[in-house]
Amino acid sequence: MPFVDLTLHHSKPTSEGLKAVREGLTRLMSDVLRKRADLTVVAITVESPSGIAMGGTPLEPGAWSGRLVAFVTAGTNSEGEKARFLAEAYRLLAQHLSPPASPFYIVVQEVPAGAWGYDGRSQAGRAQASVPVAA
């Protein structure tokens, strides 16, 4: 079950840019991390640039930053897949919103299958339910 939480400290992202990022992150979760696109949730929160600092220094006027966390079930992706997602997600943001101030953190957060799920069922419970019972 893929969930992407993107917080932008940005003064004026365009609706077109946000749409492209939302669609692009869904595609990356599917194509790179092998998650079902129809179950991928992308939540984008836009906050004031004054709410973030780098090394204690506020952003320069016109600059933006934030953070991106992609939640996936632990053990379902290789190190190579995660590294590719980090690189491609950064490129996607830079392409559609302009390059962010550095550092811009992207995290692939691995959650144990029993500790999360959707619609009231854990991922571990879903996996157990899909295993046929031997006669």
Domain membership of residue 118 (yes or no) is no
Domain membership of residue 78 (yes or no) is yes
Domain membership of residue 120 (yes or no) is no
Count the domains in the chain.
1
Give, as one character, the DSSP assignment of residue 61.
Answer: T
How far is Cα 120 from Cα 125, in angstroms, rounded to an integer?
A: 10
List CB contacts of 35: < 8 A, sequence separation 6 or more: 1, 2, 29, 72
- Domain holding 71, by residue range, is 17-112
Domain membership of residue 80 (yes or no) is yes
CATH number at residue 104: 3.30.429.10
What is the band of 135 on the pLDDT scale with cuts at 50, 70, 90? low
Domain membership of residue 83 (yes or no) is yes
Write out pLDDT tens, residues 38-84: 999 999 999 999 999 999 999 999 999 999 999 999 999 999 999 99
What is the band of 132 on the pLDDT scale with cuts at 50, 70, 90? low
% the chain with pLDDT above 70 = 96
